[in-house]
Amino acid sequence: MTTGTFEDTSRAARTPGDDLVVAGVSKRFGGVPALVDVSLTVRAGTVHALVGENGAGKSTLGKIISGVLTPDEGSVSLGGVELTLRSPRDALAKGIVTIAQELAIVPGLTVAENVYLGAEAHHAGFLRRREARRRFRELSERVGFRLSPDWLAGQLTTADQQKVEIMRALSRDASIVIMDEPTAALAEHETAALHAIIRSLAREGKSVILVSHFLSEVLALADEVTTLRDGRVIRTVAAADATEETLIEGMLGRSLGAAFPEKTPPPADAEVVLSVEGLVAPGVRDCSLEVRRGEIVGLAGLVGAGRSELARAIFRDARAQRGTVRLAGRDLAGRGPHHSIERGLALIPESRKEMGLLVGRSVKENVSLSRLDLVSRLGWVSGTRERRAVASLLERTTVKAAGLRQPVSMLSGGNQQKILFARAVMCGPRVLIADEPTRGVDVGSKRAIYDLIVEMAREGMGVVVISSELEEVLGLAHRVLVMRQGRIVAELEGAAMNQQAVLAAAFSETSDDEHQGA
């Protein structure tokens, strides 16, 4: 699929838009300042990026511009007219569209119905289905996503659901588009398609406000970059004058040092702790792999290539049709996750809120959940032993929490992720599978999580890291397996382990499959 050019499909190409001016905006939440005297100008027809650590105020600023929040002080004006937005619908009417971090789709409606939700083609209240279809087709061509309009949105993958959101935003003739981490859940080629859309929006004279953790993305797309730290604007610079290093320095107030810890590969004769042979499961076709003690194996591939499916099949969460999984030589008969954990396999699932955490419960309960037996006798949980065990795990995983009883919903994304690591460490596994360990995590926490993974491997654990961020896989792993269409298609090591090789394998020609299919 080419990411294509489609600049001339809009009749209103290059209408000069209006500049968006944020002047002296401050916002506090219950006495805690989230934004302090923030001023910036988003010029029409440009991409303006907001960068900063989690909690720096990027999302709050986005919400103020889109009318979800009202500033305590200061103003937001568009073309010299002060904006007072009362609701998201009001913001839409004024041409301000947000693509939020948290998905807002209706699972029971189809793709097309979700895209046109609240703006359905109708005639006197009756839906005009043919018209809706025509519009959907046009929009699909324009944005280059291939989604059937009739699929139920709830059955799509996260990445596809995100595409639905993006299409919805683009279907509303917006003059200002706010994108909050739009590519976090997308695979590389989909990201490329979205980047092309963002550029074309700017060419059409629209302003895009991009909130992103991916600094390479920010540098590639943005015209200007505003760095926020602790709710204040540190500086706004032209993207051409910035580098990842200068941005990180601005975000952290110091330089980060190397992005990844030093690699310490295991000795060549290290024992094999995980061996998978001929595994066949939903989304997994005949996969075999080995992980040795102290080794970090990266699992790369596009979203939907079957990486998470393989992880869950190894963890014996999905029922395998064929194949064996051995953990330190012992067969892991498919009796479910509880049995896998007992045998020494831990999984950190890809989506921490849906699959990992009990969001409303305390830090303590979330950490100890898998191994309550360690802090209990005859089923009776010992409060003291549990507190002591959890406190030492939190220290080890560098979780910053106000207390053991704080609900995990109050923690930042990075700390939530570390809670899952604390839980996994408590399991004392021989093998850890970490699926997207740093998704939606700020720069500072990322490094802490990398350190943790490397340390766990150094202590003799076998680690499998699954990530959509290629840099992360390459930066951490001693060996990389690339998946495509449910199969492991390449094993890369040493000098062969580079970005081109991984991408080539991930995208490699589908011709052989087509032959098989024919």
Min separation Cβ 396 and another protein, Å: 10
Query: Measured from the CB atom, is 14 or 319 closer to another protein?
Result: 319
512 in contact with another protein (CB under 8 A): no
Q: How far apart are CA 291 and CA 464, in angstroms?
A: 8
Min separation Cβ 288 and another protein, Å: 24
Q: Show contacts with another protein in window 415-434 (CB under 8 A).
A: 423, 427
Q: Which residue shows structure tokens 């935003």?
A: 169
337 in contact with another protein (CB under 8 A): yes
Q: What is the DSSP string of 269-292?
A: TPPEEEEEEEEEETTEEEEEEEEE
Query: Any alpha helices (H) in 185-286, and if so which ranges?
Result: 188-203, 215-221, 244-252
369 in contact with another protein (CB under 8 A): yes
For helices 188-203 and 158-171, the axis angle rounded to 10 degrees is: 10
Min separation Cβ 52 and another protein, Å: 14
Query: Measured from the CB atom, is 158 or 485 closer to another protein?
Result: 158
Q: For residue 54, report the phi and psi dihedrals to the nearest 5 degrees.
A: -60, 135
Query: Measured from the CB atom, is 51 or 363 closer to another protein?
Result: 363
Q: How far apart are CA 246 and CA 259, in angstroms?
A: 14
Min separation Cβ 428 and another protein, Å: 13
By CB under 8 A, the count of residues binding another protein is 52
Site for another protein (CB under 8 A): which residue of 356, 413, 440, 462? Answer: 356
Site for another protein (CB under 8 A): which residue of 317, 451, 455, 491? Answer: 317
CA nearest to 211, candidates 178, 240, 234:
178
Query: Measured from the CB atom, is 82 or 373 closer to another protein?
Result: 373
410 in contact with another protein (CB under 8 A): yes
394 in contact with another protein (CB under 8 A): yes
What three-state secondary structure class fits 315?
coil
Site for another protein (CB under 8 A): which residue of 8, 82, 245, 354? Answer: 354
Query: Measured from the CB atom, is 353 or 458 closer to another protein?
Result: 353
Min separation Cβ 352 and another protein, Å: 9
Q: Which residue shows structure tokens 């963002």?
A: 198
Min separation Cβ 323 and another protein, Å: 21
Query: What's the one-letter identity of residue 510?
Result: T
Report the relative pairing of strands 20-29 and 284-292 from DSSP bridges.
Answer: unpaired
Q: Show contacts with another protein in window 441-480 (CB under 8 A).
A: none
Q: How far apart are CA 342 and CA 315, in angstroms?
A: 11
Of 175-183, 197-205, 253-261, 359-367: span binding another protein (CB under 8 A): 359-367
Of 117-125, 128-136, 191-199, 349-357: span binding another protein (CB under 8 A): 349-357
36 in contact with another protein (CB under 8 A): no
342 in contact with another protein (CB under 8 A): yes
Asked if 191 contacts 147 with a C-beta cutoff of 8 angstroms, the reply is no
154 in contact with another protein (CB under 8 A): no
Site for another protein (CB under 8 A): which residue of 148, 155, 264, 392? Answer: 392
Of 266-274, 276-284, 374-382, 481-489: span binding another protein (CB under 8 A): 374-382
- Residue 364 structure tokens: 């303590």
Site for another protein (CB under 8 A): which residue of 3, 10, 246, 406? Answer: 406
65 in contact with another protein (CB under 8 A): no
Q: Which residues contact 359 (CB under 8 A, 6 or more apart)?
A: 353, 407, 408, 409
485 in contact with another protein (CB under 8 A): no
DSSP character at residue 81? E
Query: Measured from the CB atom, is 267 or 379 closer to another protein?
Result: 379
Cα torsion angle, 306, 185, 447, 500, sign: positive
Site for another protein (CB under 8 A): which residue of 217, 224, 365, 469? Answer: 365
Min separation Cβ 308 and another protein, Å: 12
3-state helix, strand, coil in the chain (%, to 5): 40, 25, 35
29 in contact with another protein (CB under 8 A): yes
492 in contact with another protein (CB under 8 A): no
**Burial class for 244, CB neighbours closer than 10 Å (0-12, 13-18, 19+):** middle
DSSP character at residue 461? -
Task: Return contacts of 272-275, CB within 8 angstroms, 24+ apart.
Answer: 273/327, 273/328, 273/430, 273/431, 273/461, 273/462, 274/314, 274/325, 274/326, 274/327, 274/345, 274/430, 274/431, 274/462, 274/464, 275/325, 275/326
4 in contact with another protein (CB under 8 A): no
Of 67-75, 256-264, 356-364, 477-485: span binding another protein (CB under 8 A): 356-364
Min separation Cβ 35 and another protein, Å: 14
Q: How far apart are CA 330 and CA 275, in angstroms?
A: 10
Asked if 421 contacts 363 with a C-beta cutoff of 8 angstroms, the reply is no
Q: Which residue shows structure tokens 């003799």?
A: 460
Q: Which residues bind another protein (CB under 8 A)?
A: 29-32, 55, 315, 317, 336-338, 340-342, 347, 349, 354-361, 365, 368-370, 372-373, 376, 379-381, 387-388, 391-392, 394-395, 401-407, 409-412, 423, 427
